[in-house]
Chain A
Amino acid sequence: MIDNFLVEFKPWSCEFEVVHKDWLFSLMHFKGKPKYKTPVLISYAYINRPFIMDLYDEVSVVRKLINAGLDVWMIDWGYPKRSDKFFKIKDYIDYIDFCVDFIKSQKGVSHITLHGYCLGATLSIIYSSLNPEKIKNLVLQAAPVNFHTENTITLWAMHIDPVKISRALGNMPGELLNIAFLLVEPVKLGLKYLNIIDNVENKKLIKDFFYMDHWIFDSPAVPGYVYEEQISNWYHKNEIIRGEYKLNGKKVDLNNITMPVLAIVAEKDNLTPPETTLPFFEKIPSKDKKLLISDKGHVGLTVSRSSHKKIWPQAVDWIVKRS
């Protein structure tokens, strides 16, 4: 029986090359035979590892994009250490800018498709509003922009002082975030292993389950200053959707989001429910915008087989048509 539990964990089903490294961050380029001119740059959330987009072959969003003939690039935000406490949101946006310029010069194009997921989507929105001329299409997956919602994790965020956390711990440790994410539904999530105990002979189910667990518990810390900004400016003051958020003295103006936008939300998402994205989606002036609604949760949106049947073919088709 134990053999079924001893799952050899090998994330990343697609081949890639790390084409640039800069202290904490790196840029990856996936191998493929692109048919379309506009490259796709994926910016994943900095609170988890980006291999969720390519966890294994059957549920790989990256493979779907490559197979469709797209040229796929991805940012890895790395594992911040104590010495990275002083990274700011500005440094993340600057690195997106570096990557966009790098890809543009490598591929000889004037703009790219930027695909953000979760907090990586928030970064993508900030970047796109500051540099709209560099972004041809904006793809947003479970994007938190409106932070004043009633979901549990938001209510908790509203009642903590991030400065005290970064002052005491340096960074917000990934382990602490994981405990918080599990405590949102302590009985349901704490007892989720009952299902695999009852299906111990089902190797596929167990493999899928533990692949997810490896991803869930592989959580980088959030640099202290980034955490302060995220909680104070985004959650407490809800500055982005209000049009009050500034970066380097420049206002992040959502009226600049005029490029084609694809927003994908998940109905059962308890971390970034649809209400975090919908007000933004309605507010932006883009004339070419599409909303896809999945019946899954925050992660199921990416790795469930049903999402790969229903949602991703539509999403990839949308990107391809604009590439």
Chain B
Amino acid sequence: MEELRREELIELFKALPKESFELLLRNISIRERLEDLWKEHASGKKLGYGERFEALFEEVFRFFFRPLEITLRGFRQLRFLLPLPELLESWESQWELIRAWRDFIDSLFSHFSLMTELSLGITAPAVVKSMMDNFRESWKERVDRYYRHYYLLDVEELRVYTDYPLILTKKTTQYLLNALDEWEQFSGYYMEFKDLIRNTYKASIREFIEVANSKRFDSFQSFRDAFINISNQKFDSLLRSKRYLEVQGNMVSHLMDYLYRTRRFFEEMFENNPINPFATVGHVDEAHKRIMDLRRKVMELEKRINELEAERLPAEKTKSRKQTGGGAK
């Protein structure tokens, strides 16, 4: 198959479902690698497990591993959001030095600002300030006033940060610790899941190599089909095996608990912050739940009203016929 040009790839990406696009491109690479192996086989050489079969594994299974590995790496996000205790402690011990450095930077900045203003006063023409400029300046002065005031308070801000496990509520830290435990469990099962798949792939390749080296496939199609059929049989056994079912079940279970507890950790943190202006997913979920319950009640009532209407109308017709004497005749 002729190679797709770069600009064509973008067009293809726009036209196809994302999954189809990825699998198609991977299949093109797989086909090339299989064809190389087939040529080697057709020339009478013996096949062996090597880089090309290893590369095939990556092409076939990347699609399945990626979502799990994203979650596995998501742990770094959690780690990144939390201040490193050792870093904070190091900062705290050198707090005087840091403060001196900050004062020096502030002075330097003021010096340059003053110099620039003086220079502009001498060299640049006088600028007529608009009301808008005056407002911006007074706004800045007001905010700076609070900023200066804060620093005069001499708050031990780093101490506050290093105390964060004690600042958070017990429930919040429990969610965090449980989330980390779940992540650890999930990562263990994921590695086993990956090993089970890799080992099955290797076993299927060994069997395929044995077959290929003991007979001659007369076409690329039959060579390719044998590769697919042998792998398929091996994977069918694996995916139904007791250990695989346990590993996959546990992996999904710990993954879900890790996600849930991480979310609850953040939710607890936000919910306990009195100036947080945002509703959490948990809050919104609860609102949706109540709306759904009310919706069902409204629908139930509407249905009952319709039934009563349906019962009332024929009864009224009969009554009216009786009153007009129509029914009696």
| A interface residue numbers (CB < 8 A to B) | 1-2, 5-8, 23, 82-87, 90-91, 94, 150, 152, 155-156, 158-161, 164-165, 167-170, 175-176, 178-179, 182-188, 190-194, 196-198, 200, 210, 213-214, 216-218
- With a CB–CB cut-off of 8 A, which chain A residues contact B27? 191-194, 197
Tell whether, in the assembled complex, residue B260 and residue A200 are in contact, meaning their CB atoms are under 8 Å apart: no
**Choice from B1, B30, B253, B259 contacting A1 with Cβ under 8 Å:** B1
Contact with A along B103-141 (1 / 0, CB 8 A): 000000000000000000000000000000000000000
Q: How far is the CA of A217 from the CA of B21 in the complex (A)?
A: 11
B173 part of interface (Cβ distance < 8 Å): no
Chain B contacts to A: CB under 8 angstroms: 1-2, 4, 8, 11-12, 15-20, 23-24, 26-28, 30-31, 60-61, 63-64, 67, 197, 204, 221, 224, 228, 231-232, 235-236, 239-240, 245-246, 248-249, 252-253, 255-257, 259-260, 263, 281, 284-285, 288-289, 292-293, 295-296, 299
Q: Which residues on B sit within 8 Å (CB–CB) of A198?
A: 31, 221
Q: Which chain A residues lie closer than 8 Å to B67 at the CB level?
A: 175-176, 179
A6 and B12 within 8 A (CB): yes
Q: B212 CB to closest chain A CB, in angstroms?
A: 16
Closest to B4 in A: A2
B18 and A186 form a contact (CB under 8 A): no
Is A167 touching B256 in the complex (CB atoms < 8 A)?
yes
Q: How far is the CA of A7 from the CA of B288 in the complex (A)?
A: 40
| A-B pairs with beta carbons under 8 Å apart, 10 shown | A5-B15, A6-B12, A86-B289, A86-B292, A155-B240, A160-B252, A185-B235, A190-B26, A197-B28, A218-B17
In angstroms, Cα B64 to Cα A156, docked, is: 16
Given known A160-B253, A218-B17, contact A183–B1 (CB-CB < 8 A): no
Give the distance in Å from the alpha carbon of A191 to the alpha carbon of B231 in the complex.
Answer: 11
Taken together as a complex, chains A and B put the C-alpha atoms of A183 and B240 apart, in Å, by 12
A197 touching B60 by the CB < 8 A rule? no
A200 cross-chain contacts in B, Cβ below 8 A? 1
* Residue contact A159 to B248, C-beta cutoff 8 Å: yes
CB distance from B74 to the nearest CB of A (A): 13
Q: B247 to nearest A CB, angstroms?
A: 10
Question: Closest A-chain residue to B292, C-beta based?
Answer: A86
Separation of A83 and B281 alpha carbons in the complex (Å): 10
A165 to B136, CA, bound (A): 51
In the assembled complex, the Cα of A210 lies from the Cα of B4 at a distance in Å of 18
Q: With A193-B23, A193-B27 in contact, is A183–B4 under 8 Å at CB? A: no
- Chain A contacts for B255, CB-based, 8 A: 168
Tell which of B23, B60, B228, B288 touches A83, judged by Cβ atoms closer than 8 Å.
B288
CB distance from A134 to the nearest CB of B (A): 14
What residues of chain B lie closer than 8 Å to A5, measured between beta carbons?
12, 15-16, 24
Q: Are B20 and A217 in contact (CB under 8 A)?
A: yes
- What's the Cα separation between A315 and B30 when bound, in Å? 41
Q: A6-B11, A152-B239, A185-B235 are in contact. Are A86 and B60 (CB under 8 A)?
A: no
